[in-house]
Structure 1
Amino acid sequence: MSALRARLSAMVLAVCLLFTGLAVAAPQRAAAADPGYLMVHFTGEGATSQQMYLSHSTDGLHWNDLNGGGMVLRSTVGTRGVRDPALVRSPDGSRYWIIATDLCIGCGQNWDQAVNNASRNLVVWESTDLVTWSQPWLLNVAGAIPDGRNAWAPEAIWSPETNDYVLYWATNTPLNGATKHRIYAARTSDFRTITTPQLYIDRPGTQEIIDTQIIEMPAGVGNYRYVRASGDGQITLEGSNSIFGTWTDLGNLSAIGLPGSQVEGPMWMKFNGTNKWALYLDQYATNRGYMPVLTTDPSNPATYQKLTSSDYNMGGTKKRHGWILNLTAAEESRVLAGWPNTPAQRLQSFNFQDRYVRQTNFDVRIDPNVSPLDDSRFRLRPGLAGSGTVSFESVNFPGYFLRHSNYDFQLAYNDGTTQFAEDATFRQVAGLADPTWSSFQSYNFPDRYMRHYAYELRLDPITTTTARGDATFRVTS
């Protein structure tokens, strides 16, 4: 009997090992209650695609666009375009930063200019809840690098040894007879000031390195505390026991058909509740955005496996070089509530039906033939000041709302004050000129309504037939 039990035990063990080996190809959620994942990314070229977008996944492989697939943050500083974002959480979870490349290809700058004479700054946003973000600011990281010509693809990792962040990025600069992109690094505690940048990663000869991302490994996995993946002609894997220590070349992903000529922008994600990882790679050569490869040991190139296209779904928008955050339950609740897929809509004038409410240089009026169309598109959010009301958030300037000031309308950034919330909140009522349309009554001046006058939007008392027509709108797509 003991021999039979031994044989049965061996068979059970073999089956368990078989399924453990297969699990890397199709990882499952550890538990139904596990929170999911948040990706911040950009979507392509052009002024609106080079902004910040968010996507959510419950399993790390199937992604849903948040905010109706629209941008969630728009840069109003520097080049007014952003790429290659990193999403950084403070160790205590009380603060978050998005740091991104200040670059807008195809909207004022071409690739030659971007390589040789571009912004030396990064763009930074800060938040305490992943939903409400500060106004962006510029952080000059490459200005102190001799003949530093740009600052691309920033990343950051918390350093327990120094109790701050190691911020690292690529800068094109001439050094030792070669002008090329190298990785520089500095330390920061607030992403407003940094220590003097130092050369961090340099490849031999003329070989450039632009994209790199570091992850800290859990105890017992692999032989290194840190693993980094870099785009340097290959997707090169390296290991080290210290962020600023000696790094060992572990190999690359060319054996599975993913050389650096095909993919870039490595982005790590650890699956919840298990020692399995996805390394997302941007398929820039074929213009297809991100794809995942899976591994049970990021330090071992032999463990990486490609998936079939049916094993994952990247959602409706193209996902390009970004960052994935494993959410807590509280974070996930805030994110899903804060970025619902509210449709983008327009406000059509009742008495000038070829005209729509639009913003132009943050002034608000009604116009025909609005271009770009998104200047006249808004998301009707739950009112900032009270239930049963609405506020109008701009589609192409997220975080900006229609608000009145001295009875004149403007598109303004939500500064979080009570005054702003009240000025930007309205009660949607039956149209004053036609009950099948709508009128919008001011929350804090209930005797006044949104109306146009000489095509400009105002907040006025409504006492005449003409004014009732001016204050009536259709909410339409």
Structure 2
Amino acid sequence: MQAYLFVHFKEKKTPDGEQVYFGLSTDGFNWKQVNGGEPVLWSKLGEEGVRDHTIVRANNGKFYIFATDLSLANCFQTKYKGDWANIGREGSKCLSMWESEDLVNWSEQKLIELGDEDYGCLWAPDVIYDKANEEYVLHWSSSHASNNFGHKAIYYSRTKDFESFTKPQMLCRKDGSGIIDSAIYEENGSYYRFLKSEIDPAGIILQKGKTLTGEYTRIEAFDVEMAKLGHSAYEAPTAFKLANGQWCLLLDFFGVEGAGQGYVPFVADDIESGRFIRSDESFNFPYGFKHGTVLPITLEEYERIKQFTF
């Protein structure tokens, strides 16, 4: 039996919301807050706020958290003059990173500089292990000077040790639309990539590829299910396999102000079908988890986190 860790932030207008929070579940359906619903890690570097978290279990026995170096509470009205376009072009060229061997004791925060003057803000990192090359692919979305900082694309860097990273390359771009919030999973030798498309369609899409960094094609059955939502305000896909073999996809709904925001669950018998059915009644969250990632953990790890006060 396994459990799950959800690393996320809270959509608050104060600096404490844009920090690292943990949620725990033993079944993937019913979630509990950790540390009394308070942050487990605080950003003290860069903009002193972090969003869009991901976590990976590495082969070296360590865990790594990455996040966007961005604080709306600290910087939106001042540094960025209340304009998201300014963030996209002038935001941080770094990602925040923490590492741990036990999910309880974490290193000091590091800023990993991956972008240069040709990149806008580095948004929403995620990580997948590339078995063929025995290294990790860290991917994120950015605007870029190559199209005058217009529609965002997905870029990636490779690392074997999370200390040195290769020069970024483009992973994918969509004609006529920005794409953000990439999440990639391997299943039965194929790769499945969730993206948020900003135009045509405005919403989440799912693609399938034979190789991690090669060509992908749309899974149309997924488009059919997404069209039933009747709203495009979903982002930040994260997916994981349930104990019964089904796949759970979580999408972050941002279409209202305040407490109505947060993750909405969808379940599919298999990821290849793309038929993710909205399943709110089967899930329970203590509050609206915002843009994060779910990591399968052991029951021993679950108990260790649950009993620790950060």
TM over 0.5: yes
For 1:134 and 1:190, the matched residues in 2 are separated by 15
CA contact (8 A) 1:253 1:259 kept: no
**Equivalent residue number for residue 215 of structure 2:** 246
Alignment match of 2:97 (pick from 124, 130, 136): 124
For 1:103 and 1:289, the matched residues in 2 are separated by 19
Higher alpha-carbon Rg: 1
Identical aligned residues as a percent: 32
CA contact (8 A) 2:120 2:149 kept: no
Matches within 5 A, 1:42-441: 42-45=9-12, 46-91=14-59, 94-109=61-76, 110=82, 111-143=84-116, 147-176=118-147, 179-205=150-176, 207-217=177-187, 219=188, 225-232=190-197, 233-251=202-220, 252-256=222-226, 257-258=228-229, 261-272=232-243, 274-287=244-257, 288-301=261-274, 303-308=275-280, 310-315=281-286, 317-339=287-309
For 2:162 and 2:96, the matched residues in 1 are separated by 10
DSSP 3-state at the match of 1:321? strand
CA contact (8 A) 1:265 1:322 kept: yes
Residue type of the partner of 1:239?
A: K
CA contact (8 A) 2:88 2:143 kept: yes
For 2:149 and 2:23, the matched residues in 1 are separated by 39
DSSP 3-state at the match of 1:149? coil
Hey, which bits of structure 1, 4+ residues long, moved more than 3 A? 252-256
For 1:202 and 1:299, the matched residues in 2 are separated by 22
Give the aligned length: 294
Is there any run of 5+ residues in structure 1 with no aligned partner, and where?
Answer: 1-33, 340-397, 399-477
For 2:103 and 2:206, the matched residues in 1 are separated by 31
For 1:120 and 1:78, the matched residues in 2 are separated by 10
For 1:177 and 1:70, the matched residues in 2 are separated by 40
Going from structure 1 to structure 2, the CA distance change for 1:40 and 1:320 (only over 3 Å counts) comes to same
Residue type of the partner of 2:278?
A: K
Matches within 5 A, 1:29-48: 34-45=1-12, 46-48=14-16
For 2:163 and 2:308, the matched residues in 1 are separated by 26
For 1:259 and 1:107, the matched residues in 2 are separated by 34
Residue type of the partner of 1:300?
A: S
For 2:86 and 2:149, the matched residues in 1 are separated by 18
DSSP 3-state at the match of 1:258? coil
Q: Give a deviation string over 1:195-237, Cα, whole Å, max 9, x none.
A: 01001110002x00111101111x3xxxx61111110122111
Q: Give a deviation string over 1:30-54, Cα, whole Å, max 9, x none.
A: xxxx231110000114311000000
Residue type of the partner of 1:305?
A: I
How many angstroms does 1:176 deviate by? 4.4
Going from structure 1 to structure 2, the CA distance change for 1:260 and 1:237 (only over 3 Å counts) comes to farther
How many angstroms does 1:105 deviate by? 0.7
For 2:110 and 2:150, the matched residues in 1 are separated by 29
How many angstroms does 1:253 deviate by? 3.8
Is there any run of 5+ residues in structure 2 with no aligned partner, and where?
Answer: 77-81
Going from structure 1 to structure 2, the CA distance change for 1:261 and 1:36 (only over 3 Å counts) comes to same
Going from structure 1 to structure 2, the CA distance change for 1:268 and 1:259 (only over 3 Å counts) comes to farther
Matches within 5 A, 1:439-450: none
For 2:298 and 2:149, the matched residues in 1 are separated by 45
CA contact (8 A) 1:209 1:230 kept: yes
TM-score by length of 1: 0.59
Residue type of the partner of 1:136?
A: Q
CA contact (8 A) 1:120 1:140 kept: yes
DSSP 3-state at the match of 2:46? coil
For 1:121 and 1:97, the matched residues in 2 are separated by 15
TM-score by length of 2: 0.89
For 2:119 and 2:284, the matched residues in 1 are separated by 39
RMSD over aligned Cα atoms: 1.8
Residue type of the partner of 1:114?
A: I
Going from structure 1 to structure 2, the CA distance change for 1:260 and 1:254 (only over 3 Å counts) comes to farther
For 1:191 and 1:259, the matched residues in 2 are separated by 40
For 2:298 and 2:145, the matched residues in 1 are separated by 44
Pick 1 or 2: higher relative contact order, CA cutoff 8 A, min separation 6. 2
How many angstroms does 1:289 deviate by? 0.4
